[in-house]
Amino acid sequence: MRMAAIGAFQYFNDLPKELRMLIWEYHFESARIHVVHPAPESQNRNPKREALLFNCTVLDSATNLIILDGRPPSSLINREAHAVALSRKRVWTPVRFGKDLAESVTSGRARVPIHFTLVASSTMTLPEHNETCTQAPPVYVDWDSDMLYLCVSHAEQAFWSMRSVPWRDRVRKLAVLVPQSEFDRAIPFGPTDPIREVLEFMTELEELYIVLVPDAAYVAAATIPSLSRDTFGFVPYVEYLSAAGLASNHILYTRTAMSFGEAINGMHRKIILRRVVDVDYRACGFGYYRRTPSPPVVVNGDRFS
């Protein structure tokens, strides 16, 4: 439920206190998805020779709605809301994703794997209008609950940057889009050893999602709402295959998941690997990310969105 809709719902205060408390808890506990994607200024950049600029779109995981204000949810609504917010004890950290990822590449701290064809970091350049990432206001992340989602067509550059960004040891839930390869035999992210090296620097990582964005033609629009979603709106890959009537796996996606799986198996700590599909992804202009909003929640005949 969006708190912005409370003003339109005139009978909220008439609800039983127990129900109001559940709604407040739902509001203040809702996890966020921090979707990192290329900024519009990167459209004509060559990701093999130039550092991309990234933007971050923040989604409410329960509704798929974009959160325009990247700050923590305000508790200054009324005493009831304030008490619930304090009881949640969430810790919010300000992060400038675009600035940190770009600086990780150009500073030379992010060692580039041999298979990745970027030129030496000392010769890489930022786009001329780099104030987009340096002056963008921070978004606030609760690393215990929120997810970082690298939804980038050239996801390798953002992934390798994770080796040296200042918040690398805070990420607990990471989703990585499997990009389309320019070469049939090329596996995104390459061999397992460089992948393992990046993951080793992410010392608090607990869950790793390997994400496929499907061709819209594979799943009928009427089928999509019936698919089960996890906490962050993803559909399990096996369920997607069944719903789409696909008898075989996506070879590129499967090989990439295997590379990450092998990298995790060689580590000394447990990371849960999940293969999922972002079926709610909506095609939009370059440098933007959108999802189809989740269906509204119905409580005793009242619809909440």
Q: How far apart are CA 75 and CA 144, in angstroms?
A: 19
Judged against a pLDDT cut of 80, whether residue 194 lies above it is answered with yes
Confidence of residue 275 (pLDDT cuts 50, 70, 90): very high
Question: Encoding tokens for residue 291?
Answer: 């999802």
Question: Encoding tokens for residue 6?
Answer: 């409370």
In which residue are the tokens 């509204």 written? 296
Q: Are 191 and 115 in contact (CB under 8 A)?
A: yes
pLDDT at 247: 67
Q: How far apart are CA 10 and CA 25, in angstroms?
A: 20
The average confidence (pLDDT) of the chain is: 79
Q: Are 256 and 188 in contact (CB under 8 A)?
A: yes
pLDDT at 202: 95
Task: Please provide the size of the chain in residues.
Answer: 305
Judged against a pLDDT cut of 80, whether residue 276 lies above it is answered with yes
Question: Encoding tokens for residue 271?
Answer: 């990371």
Q: Any idea what the Cα angle at residue 31 is, between residues 130 and 276, rounded to 5°? A: 85
Q: Are 276 and 250 in contact (CB under 8 A)?
A: no
Confidence of residue 220 (pLDDT cuts 50, 70, 90): low
Judged against a pLDDT cut of 60, whether residue 264 lies above it is answered with yes
pLDDT at 299: 41
Judged against a pLDDT cut of 60, whether residue 149 lies above it is answered with yes
Most confidently modeled range among 113-117, 243-247, 258-262 = 258-262
Judged against a pLDDT cut of 90, whether residue 228 lies above it is answered with no
Mean pLDDT of 232-240: 92
Indicate the helix (H) or strand (E) that contains 159.
helix 155-161
Judged against a pLDDT cut of 60, whether residue 71 lies above it is answered with yes
Judged against a pLDDT cut of 70, whether residue 55 lies above it is answered with yes
> Considering only CA atoms, which of 76, 75, 57, 77 is closest in space to residue 67?
57
Whether pTM > 0.85 for this model: the answer is no
More confident residue, 68 or 304: 68
Judged against a pLDDT cut of 80, whether residue 144 lies above it is answered with yes
Helix (H, G, I), strand (E, B) or coil at 278: coil
pLDDT at 125: 54
Percentage of the chain lying above the pLDDT 70 cut: 77
Sheet containing strand 272-277, strands side by side: 54-60, 32-38, 147-150, 173-177, 207-212, 272-277, 235-236
Q: How far apart are CA 156 and CA 24, in angstroms?
A: 39
Judged against a pLDDT cut of 90, whether residue 270 lies above it is answered with yes
pLDDT at 304: 44
pLDDT at 259: 92
